């Protein structure tokens, strides 16, 4: 059963009314919806709402809030929905990748996203790039290798719910492990970063004179006679041996990095935890190396609401992992839009723009949000109002201070708490 809401009240008021437009507009005014002219299906007669086509029912059925926006939506916002689901897949023997950069998703200037699969033994070849690479594992097992700026090597295995972070320019590799490789999502801290244009070890070898390679490595030119002349990017390799052996094999006199480049986000004690779900945070205060990316793993139970809030310090890039939900975004203007999300989708909210997320499905909704910032920061609307003189708030909202006093006081994160 749907909750009691202004929207439902409005719908009830409009039900069966032949002159729906006039009557529900009046109701809208009663409930404080000032949109002029009134918007939404509840303010329209049936003829004005019908969509004669052309139509793609399979696609439009995925977006009920775009097809039939809440009457409270108003104005234009830049598209804040995108998806890996319809992104081109570059498939090679060993795995595949697809990406959504700012070229595909204009609003997303702080992050570009990559979704990658590596088969067991599949290798994303040794490479580096200009952006920092943050990633979350969503399936299977993967081995990462990286060398830091002081020549200190790091090798680790990661599983679902784990993160890695490679600072810009640090050389690294990824390899799927048994029994069935891995899948993960990378967020580069630059909207223009591309996984299809990285500095590849094979490219450099192939385009360096053999005599230079020979001198550089103190080896005979013959050593390089079989190097690949085209890059590998992703290729099928053989599964590596035990982790401890690999770690021992790469040991350097420079020592080990002071902080790990991997982190268990799903294993951290939740920052918020109640009957509607959990929020788990990983930023540079806990995942020390992650200086440019703060992350929040959000689990919202069926019927739960990620409370109205905003982030004062950074835009939010979201990867929707499980379940389904909708997000309403508010900005100055006013500009308000509501959109629906499913697994594999990407959401984006500009810094300081208000938003909420509601689980509209019957299973847990899980999404991860990243922010190009060293520290996770959030402002809760209810927490703000609860810690502002109630008489002052009451004069803004025309709500009885006694009722305001019962609003949540400690930023529950998720409601009902």
Catalytic residues: 124, 127, 129, 133, 172, 195
Short-list 305, 412, 335, 320, CA closest to 368: 320
The single-letter DSSP state of residue 214 is H
Q: How far is the CB of 195 from Mn ion (least distance, A)?
A: 7
Binding letters toward Mn ion, positions 395-414, x by CB under 5 A? --------------------
Of the pair 20, 369, the CB lying nearest Mn ion is at 369
Between CA 363 and CA 342 the distance in angstroms is: 12
DSSP states along 99-145: EE-TTT-TT--S-EEEEEEE-TTEEEEEEE-SS-EEEEEEEEEEEEE
Which residues ranging from 314 to 343 are in contact with Mn ion (CB under 5 A)?
A: 316
Please report whether residue 283 would count as binding Mn ion according to CB under 5 A. Answer: no
50-58, 131-139, 140-148, 323-331 -> range binding Mn ion (CB under 5 A): 131-139
Q: How far is CA 285 from the centre of its chain?
A: 20
Residue among 199 and 403 whose Cβ is closer to Mn ion: 199
- In the bound state with Mn ion, the residue whose beta carbon lies nearer, of 105 and 164, is 164
To Mn ion, the closest distance from the beta carbon of 375 in angstroms equals 14
Stretch that binds Mn ion, among 65-73, 251-259, 280-288, 313-321 (CB under 5 A): 313-321
Least spacing, CB of residue 109 vs Mn ion, in Å: 17
Which range, of 76-84, 205-213, 229-237, 312-320, touches Mn ion by CB under 5 A?
Answer: 312-320
Pick 71 or 300: Cβ nearer Mn ion: 300
Q: Name the region of 61 (left: φ>0; alpha: ψ -120 to 50; beta: rest).
A: alpha
Distance CA 141, CA 155 (A): 13
Closest separation in Å from C-beta 188 to Mn ion: 8
Choose the binding region for Mn ion from 44-52, 72-80, 132-140, 386-394 (rule: CB under 5 A). Answer: 132-140
Cα–Cα distances in angstroms (integers) from residue 359 to residues 174, 186, 401, in the given order: 34, 24, 30
Query: Where does 178-303 show beta strands of DSSP type E?
Result: 182-188, 199-200, 234-236, 262-264, 272-274, 277-282, 294-300
Specify whether the CB–CB gap between 357 and 307 falls below 8 A: no
- Of 157 and 378, which has the nearer Cβ to Mn ion? 378
> How many residues make contact with Mn ion (CB under 5 A)?
2
Give the CB-nearest residue to Mn ion: 133
- Of 133, 283, 345, 383, which lies in the binding site for Mn ion, with binding defined by CB under 5 A? 133
Which range touches Mn ion (CB under 5 A), out of 48-56, 72-80, 125-133, 339-347? 125-133
Task: Check if the beta carbon of residue 321 is closer than 8 Å to that of residue 265.
Answer: no
Nearer to Mn ion, 368 or 385 (CB): 368
Tally of helices (H runs) and strands (E runs) in the chain: 11, 25
Task: Catalog residues that contact Mn ion under the rule CB under 5 A.
Answer: 133, 316
């Amino acid at each position: 059963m749907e909750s009691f809401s202004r929207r439902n009240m409005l719908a009830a008021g409009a039900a069966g009314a032949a002159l729906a437009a006039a009557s529900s507009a009046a109701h809208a005014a009663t409930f404080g919806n000032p949109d002029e002219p009134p918007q939404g299906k509840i303010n329209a007669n049936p003829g004005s709402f019908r969509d004669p086509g052309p139509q793609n029912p399979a696609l439009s059925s995925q977006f009920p809030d775009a097809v039939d926006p809440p009457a409270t939506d108003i104005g234009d916002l830049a598209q804040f929905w995108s998806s890996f689901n319809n992104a081109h897949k570059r498939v090679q023997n060993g795995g595949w990748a697809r990406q959504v950069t700012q070229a595909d998703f204009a609003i997303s200037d702080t992050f570009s996203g990559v979704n990658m699969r590596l088969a067991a033994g599949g290798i994303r070849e040794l490479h580096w790039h200009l952006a920092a690479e943050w990633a979350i594992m969503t399936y299977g097992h993967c081995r990462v290798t990286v060398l830091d700026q002081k020549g200190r090597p790091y090798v680790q295995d990661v599983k679902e719910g784990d993160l890695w972070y490679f600072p810009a320019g640090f050389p690294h590799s990824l390899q799927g492990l048994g029994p069935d490789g891995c899948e993960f999502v990378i967020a580069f801290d630059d909207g223009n970063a591309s996984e299809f244009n990285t500095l590849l070890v094979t490219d450099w070898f192939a385009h360096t004179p053999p005599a230079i390679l020979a001198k550089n490595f103190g080896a005979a030119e013959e050593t390089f006679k079989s190097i690949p002349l085209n890059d590998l990017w992703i290729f099928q390799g053989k599964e590596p041996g035990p982790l401890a052996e690999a770690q021992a094999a790469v040991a350097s006199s420079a020592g080990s990095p002071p902080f790990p480049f991997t982190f268990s986000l799903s294993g951290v004690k939740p920052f918020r935890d109640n009957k509607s779900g959990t929020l788990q945070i990983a930023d540079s205060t806990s995942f020390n190396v992650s200086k440019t990316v703060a992350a929040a793993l959000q689990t919202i139970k069926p019927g739960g609401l990620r409370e109205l809030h905003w982030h004062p310090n950074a835009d939010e890039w979201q990867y929707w992992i499980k379940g389904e939900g909708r997000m309403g975004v508010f900005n100055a203007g006013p500009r308000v839009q509501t959109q629906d999300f499913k697994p594999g989708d990407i959401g984006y909210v500009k810094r300081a723009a208000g938003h909420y997320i509601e689980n509209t499905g019957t299973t847990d909704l899980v999404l991860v949000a990243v922010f190009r910032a060293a520290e996770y920061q959030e402002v809760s609307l209810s927490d703000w109002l609860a810690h502002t003189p109630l008489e002052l708030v009451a004069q803004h909202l025309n709500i009885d201070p006694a009722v305001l006093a019962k609003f949540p006081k400690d930023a529950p994160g998720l409601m009902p708490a």
